Amino acid sequence: MSVPDTFPKLLARNVAEHGAEIAMREKQFGIWRSFTPGEIAARTQAMTLGLHALGVGARSLGLYRDALDDEVAYLLGHAGAKLVFAEDE
C-alpha cells in the first residue's frame, strides 16, 4: 500500500484501517469525549461541504504559537485571509 500524500488520503486510510478505534479525546464542559477516525471523517466532511456550499476556498497556513502578532498579521494579509479557523492545541 502506498503512503498517503495528503491529509484527506491519510484520513481515508485511517478510517479503513482503524475506523472503530479511538483516535482522539477532547474535553468538552469538563467531560472527556472520544472520537473514532470515522467520526472525525464525518465531521470533517460536513464542515468541508458546508464551507464549499458557502463558496469558501481555503488554504492552510503554518502559524506557530511563538509567532509574533506582526508576523501573523503579515502572513494572513499576504494570503488574503478573510476567515480564520484556529485551534488551541
41-82 confidence digits (pLDDT tens): 999 999 999 999 999 888 888 788 888 999 999 999 999 988
pTM over 0.85: no
Largest CA distance in the chain: 44
In a domain, 88, yes or no: no
In a domain, 87, yes or no: no
Map residue 54 onto helix, strand or coil.
Answer: coil
Question: How many H-runs (helices) and E-runs (strands) does the chain carry?
Answer: 3, 2
Q: What is the pLDDT of residue 63?
A: 82
Structural domain count, the chain: 1
In a domain, 89, yes or no: no
In a domain, 74, yes or no: yes
Full domain range(s) for residue 68: 7-79
- Show the cell assigned to 35: 472520537
Residue 1 predicted with pLDDT over 70: no
Residue listed under C-alpha cell 471523517: 41
